[in-house]
Structure 1
């Protein structure tokens, strides 16, 4: 049963429509990540859930109760902001306790809640310090602690890690995931970082220009993107999107990709469903870098594979992986190879592609075929 449900939500600022018919729902204890480029409407959507922005039309329900007209204080939510929003003249203890004092929670109960949250977030030794004496990661833990003592129905996070350096972001991401697994509270989390979205979410909503592009599990979003935008936005490196032509190959189909004066033909086997109706037409052939590999790695890739010769232009060692750049269909194409590959730039290499991992898009509508 849905715990947080958003139905046909629209939000306009004057004549500018920022959210356009958003439909989302998440089960109790779920972790919903709203992701998309800057200006796509994800923070506005979060603010409408919080009650910080009124909606133009639609419905928001939390725990089966419609909250459209409820004040933020009546929605039983807690929010963690990007800026931490700590009181500089208060100690950590006072910052965490402030909301409980306003609600007149008895002091013994406040102290128990503070101690419990401080131990959970590993900030017990910081309780008597002021925010100016803390690192960015410690301040973010305090901001989270202030939300946790509320014990709300829903936690709202608005890009909480964007002010942290790269290593600390990874560490805090792990802490947030551990916290969610321990407490099981429903979370809605805004980020523009698609790696953050993939690692944290049980469900992802991809937004663009106020429209919901796709809503699904991280696996669905990554492996079966609904359109070219989602395919390109989610994943690092992003999906290779290669102009190609679908051709009849006997009773089956094949993909023909231009490579300079020649072409590469990759045969498809098995049932091709909706692809059959696009035979003879131009398509966009989408394949993730990890589905392009050296012939010697073929045993690790189960499924339908096809081989081709590729001129290697750039090789980028990246620790556990090596990224090799070639060209297909007039586009730069990235293959994720092993760390110990012998491939060098300026040479040719025989690569294979796992066609079971491929997806196809209509170049006119940009929607996935099938």
Structure 2
């Protein structure tokens, strides 16, 4: 019997690692159609279609985070930020509008719904992204877990940035500390008693990205936000699509003490943990200082850091330089912390 007939979908297939990519390639790429621009087959953060001398950028994202309220944010803030940030990763930092679809479980508290909607409204205002239309459905008790949100975003851009533009000699910048969101959600979910202020970084970063693009221009060659699969997942995608190797300078990685401690407690590398308010940006080396200065001048980019470089050797590989030696950084099979966005 064909093994595919026997296969069933698991949590790993929606978690941003190798298993999810394989599912998309095996099943959903059959939906791809040729477009004048970047379409489904590119497996980027969105699509970009040429309209006259500009680009129409479209992205969509669904959100199932549990718990729906956590330190630093909630499912409403993620739903707006995630879509705004995916547009920004394509170079489209000024959204024209967002849609919002809501699926509710029978019995979901109305007060919680109003709190989620208020958070969406505030985040959309922060991002300059009007919510212009939507849809609401209610499922029977037990047919959906509480609330599921989907948002779709549309924006226009003069230039599109993909996640496939790295070349040997380019450097990679991360716009701030890594692993904050996934660790904060995990700690709340499991009621872990950790010292310090462990909070999600969820935020719309289109303004931050706009500053980087203004400083670097066409020398900003690749961007991706390290959500599911974390920074490790992003680096593997960028390396594979760009046909380069990537060397990470581990000591330069910005990791908060609380995140590092939580990772050591449960045995999870912060490089594998999701962020919801950061970007990994590939830059030609000649413009790295300008981009870094622009990022650090923005409130959301104060800890921006050059942490990796692209090399011609070992295309597709990600190498971690610890300062004492080097080792391969494996691509995550699936997110170790499911339902974090």
User: TM-score w.r.t. structure 2 length?
Assistant: 0.26
Larger radius of gyration: 1
Query: Which structure carries more relative contact order (alpha carbon 8 Å, separation 6+)?
Result: 2
User: TM-score w.r.t. structure 1 length?
Assistant: 0.25
Determine which structure has the larger strand proportion and give its number.
1
